[in-house]
Amino acid sequence: MPIRTGLEGLRSFSQLSAPEKDAFLRSHAAKLQPYKNTALYDEAVNKLYNNYRYVKTFGLNDFQKHPDYAERNNLYKARLIGKAFKENFSKDQNYNELENGLDMQGKWDLLRNKDYLTSGR
């Protein structure tokens, strides 16, 4: 069974509810207007949404320090996974061992499957 606490921020634009999508699209309509009715519209929406989440989390100065889109996405995911991991496991008596012994992918796998460490992996 996956652990959900703290992972809500990892939802992509396509995973938002219809009201959440509509609110985002309305509030960013001017920025998206040049892409309306083009093949690039979906890509523009996804990138704008991801950049919006990054700026909201780290701030505009940090956004400007990291011009690479993929790097920003990795930093954003690492921040949310690290925070969710701490929220979910900090009271575990083996927390320090888990924190130091698992890389980001291992933390992500454990958050998605509480039996990850005992599933023969």
Asked if the structure places residue 111 within a domain, the reply is yes
What residue spans of 66-103 are helical by DSSP H? Answer: 69-89, 95-101
- Judged by average pLDDT, the poorest of 57-61, 71-75, 89-93, 109-113 is 109-113
- At 19-67, the pLDDT tens digits run 999 999 999 999 999 999 999 999 999 999 999 999 999 999 999 999 9
Asked if the structure places residue 80 within a domain, the reply is yes
φ, ψ dihedrals at 92, nearest 5°? -70, 135
Indicate if 60 and 72 belong to the same structural domain.
no
DSSP 8-state assignment for residue 92? S
Question: Does the reported pTM lie above 0.85?
Answer: no
Residues 59, 81: Cα–Cα separation, whole Å: 18
pLDDT above 60 (res 89): yes
Indicate if 47 and 59 belong to the same structural domain.
yes
pLDDT mean over 68-77: 92
Indicate if 24 and 61 belong to the same structural domain.
yes
Number of structural domains (the chain) is 2
